[in-house]
């Protein structure tokens, strides 16, 4: 990847993380796989709004999905996502 492309990719990653709703979804998923209904109930959001956010997170490889019968289960794409989130929260909360 060329340097410019790397900066673009990192910038896009942080743009996706900049939305509080997406952050809440990611932090909820750190507990394990969840379906859209579970996420929407926990965040008190419409399922369509949660699905939209999950699509953005999935398109940017922050979450992955797998089918379980008729349901789609979402989880963090890999440990790096959680590492970045935890480090960021530690930094922000550090006084």
Q: What is the pLDDT of residues 22-50, one digit of tens each?
A: 999 999 999 999 999 999 999 999 999 99
> Which pLDDT does position 2 carry in this prediction?
86
**Listed residue (33, 69, 70, 68) closest to 54, CA to CA:** 33
**Listed residue (79, 64, 78) closest to 34, CA to CA:** 64
Taking a C-beta distance cutoff of 8 angstroms, is the pair 1, 9 a contact?
A: yes
Query: pLDDT tens digits for 52-72?
Result: 999 999 999 999 999 999 999
Give pTM, 2 decimals: 0.90
Q: Is 35 helix (H, G, I), strand (E, B) or coil?
A: strand
């Amino acid at each position: 990847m060329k340097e410019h492309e790397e900066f673009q990719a990192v910038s896009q990653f942080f743009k996706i993380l900049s939305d509080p709703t997406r952050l809440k979804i990611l932090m909820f998923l750190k507990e394990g796989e969840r379906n859209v209904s579970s996420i929407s109930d926990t965040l008190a959001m419409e399922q369509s709004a949660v699905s939209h956010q999950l699509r953005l997170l999935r398109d940017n490889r922050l979450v992955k999905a797998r089918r379980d019968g008729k349901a789609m289960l979402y989880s963090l794409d890999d440990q790096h996502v959680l590492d970045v989130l935890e480090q960021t929260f530690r930094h922000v909360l550090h006084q």
